[in-house]
Structure 1
């Protein structure tokens, strides 16, 4: 078991949630020294997908201040965000009720300092702030500065500071590195004897092992398997043709685990991972629920084999890629049309699936036309008389729809191509889509796996 701050995460979260049941302006002036400016973040240690409350007191009436958040990732790169607030007549600022006047966002955004984190001015742009080591928290410093300062600029005098830990797992969640036959990954098990509903979690064409969503799923009661499919340990280093048997072995392993209850498991995938989620639902009886985030209705780039069946990958035409003056690549038109009869053999025949689909798309996705692809998939299901689906389509949201309060990344550096790729979306709308869709995803999985 963990000790120290980590062991207090769950208790602090519970205290925080009880406090949120009584909304209204925070008033803690009596807790500070007379004349001292204080900033409070509650809980000081909490789950990354749960809200925190930020309040400042001890300011002068109507004083203008900049609130700033600062994070260093595992490699030491800095990410920051800022917002402008004006104190009330009591010298207080409460982000749960007060509006930001400027900075990285405006309006009522209680968690804006977290979802607007982006590379600091001195850092390489377009980096994603995604935690790789989930057993340690993301440590955020929240500071209050005199006056209004522009984003990525030197802020004014520091008036107060506070530290907060954002955890992606709970103390009693077990993480088991998996090496089962050819299958690789990490299995996260909630505390207790179980059995728990099982979920396989997959990401896109960046490859490698990404665990932050799986670890959060375990905090919500799921036995979650983070499943890489290339560029990890002895898996292929680059995307080649894939074999569904690899994913079948992973599904059978999870379903037959002593801590996992049946009769079936769920799958969550984004981008390329959503293609595999749809394919697993279509061909594997072990899978009964699939969350497909920003995916395609067909197999793309690399072929998918299953026994004697082959679904060839639709090709990307790089001549249709455009580059902005700032050097950002727009690949929205690059993928060949799935509706072209020449690509009909690449379509995933999801009408064969007996389970339930949840399609999650951003209507401003610029990675590719995920909103159109979801409509193609839904049209196919309807054509075959099926209503085993739900669509969450978000205006103003882009490609990378992650759990609640994740930093929004509208342009991301592609690890394969080494260039910045436009993901699309508008920051505030995308952040709201993440918060709403994460609640819906958890509910969907609980309903269909219980």
Structure 2
């Protein structure tokens, strides 16, 4: 019998779900190399490989067989995905069109040479971003530029505003996946997209308020409040929305800062200037990359305190997801400081979950760890921190934690068994 790759589920699955990979028809104890590859929409190739040995029956199941080396080692059923690295330097895997899947190519090669073995079998696996029945609705209402993702059915559903970092534009992949869990999620652009400002030199919180009001006015979104999910600069903006705006019931901040960074923030008659950065504190790693973790000025010192977001005004429930090896800025320090300020004013103690050996960009499950990529504010590639395996495990846990948190504070029915494709 010729070797065959078995994938479960066979017809693909959502990108945040695991796939079971096995091979049948090998010789007993046969050494093989499994190789995975996919291309993003810009043509960059991401690859990983691992060496295995078939069992006494000529079968290989990645859920039971440890990798003997390669891009990773040990029992890692999803290692071929989270260990992928780009062929382009400083390149991060991002999904730009959620209406199409990533296509993962899997090769089984004879022996333990990832580029020299004879091809024994191959298969393709589709990684989707839209669960069955999820609707994608472009939003161009007033000043708001966004995409709303609605779960199947009539609702009403708990609403969430989803914000990314300083790269700008409109990223939809996290919002589209969350909509499959029962949330109405608005992926919101706030600069460098469509007719929005090209820079974030000055941001007006009224824009975000308009987006919240639009979401709450939608007939399929339940009130009286919504959630906000933000990472990096989006986490900082999540702090600001929870502090200044009404109707923010719950906020998940992923490696956010409690100070304004990179541009001025205005709301009505209040203006908050950004905390400064000292480029002399930027370090170089042994591979010549920039490490900016110490570059941002301490917002608790001197005039920098004027940049601190007044989180103590907020009655929002907070969940802070923190990478303890974040090299963008000191996320744990900011989370602990926000917690102290909230509790000092009699507010609910936020939940803080810290992940060892985890860097800045905590993505949905199975996205590969990005060692370094271009930083818009620095104008050069920077390291993000973390170690590949620990970061991958943190992403799986953080994804479940934020869903549980939003279901608890926004209502709705938690979906533990997402629909099959």
TM-score (norm 1): 0.89
Larger relative contact order (Cα-Cα within 8 Å, sequence gap ≥ 6): 2
The residue matched to 2:174 in structure 1 has which SS? helix
Aligned-pair CA distance for 1:405: 1.1
Please say if 1:37 is aligned against 2:3. yes
Q: 5 Å matches for 1:80-91?
A: 80-91=47-58
* 3-state secondary structure, aligned to 1:103: coil
SS in 1 for 2:303: helix
One of 433, 436, 450 as aligned partner of 2:397: 436
Note if contact 1:355-1:388 (Cα within 8 Å) is conserved in structure 2: no
SS across alignment from 1:105: coil
- Residue of structure 2 equivalent to 1:341: 302
In structure 2, C-alpha distance between the alignment counterparts of 1:331 and 1:63, rounded to whole Å: 47
- Counterpart among 3, 12, 18 of residue 51 in structure 1: 18
Q: Which runs of 5+ in 1 are unaligned?
A: 1-33
Cα separation, 1, equivalents of 2:299 and 2:377: 24
Instruction: Name the SS of the counterpart of 2:343 in structure 1.
Output: helix
Q: 1:246 and 2:212 equivalent?
A: no
CA distance in 2, matches of 1:102, 1:69: 14
Quote the residue 2:416 is aligned against: none
The count of residues paired between Structure 1 and Structure 2 equals 410
Deviation at 1:57, TM superposition (A): 1.4
2:65 aligned partner: 98
Q: Distance in 2 between matches of 1:283 and 1:128?
A: 33
Shift of 1:185: 1.1
State the TM-score, normalizing by the size of structure 2: 0.95
Match of 2:261 in 1: 300
Equivalent residue for 2:283, pick from 289, 301, 322: 322
The verdict on how the C-alpha distance between 1:318 and 1:265 changes in structure 2, with shifts beyond 3 A counting, is same
Cα pair 2:339 2:349 within 8 Å, conserved? no
Kindly indicate whether the alpha-carbon contact (under 8 Å) linking 1:68 and 1:144 is maintained by their aligned counterparts in 2.
Answer: yes
Instruction: Determine the C-alpha separation between the residues in 1 that align with 2:225 and 2:349.
Output: 16
CA deviation after TM superposition for structure 1 residue 69, in Å: 0.7
Alignment CA distance shift 1:401-1:259 (3 Å): same
Instruction: Give the structure 2 partner of residue 78 of structure 1.
Output: 45
Q: Which runs of 5+ in 2 are unaligned?
A: 412-421
Which residue of 1 is the match for residue 318 of structure 2?
A: 357
Post-superposition shift, 1:416?
5.8
Taking the aligned partners of 2:354 and 2:340, their CA distance within structure 1 comes to 15
Distance 1:226 1:155, change over 3 A: farther
Q: Deviations over 1:358-387 (max 9, x none)?
A: 101100011111111111111212222333
Cα distance, 1:418 vs. partner? 5.0
Give the conservation status (yes or no) of the 8 Å contact 2:343–2:349: no
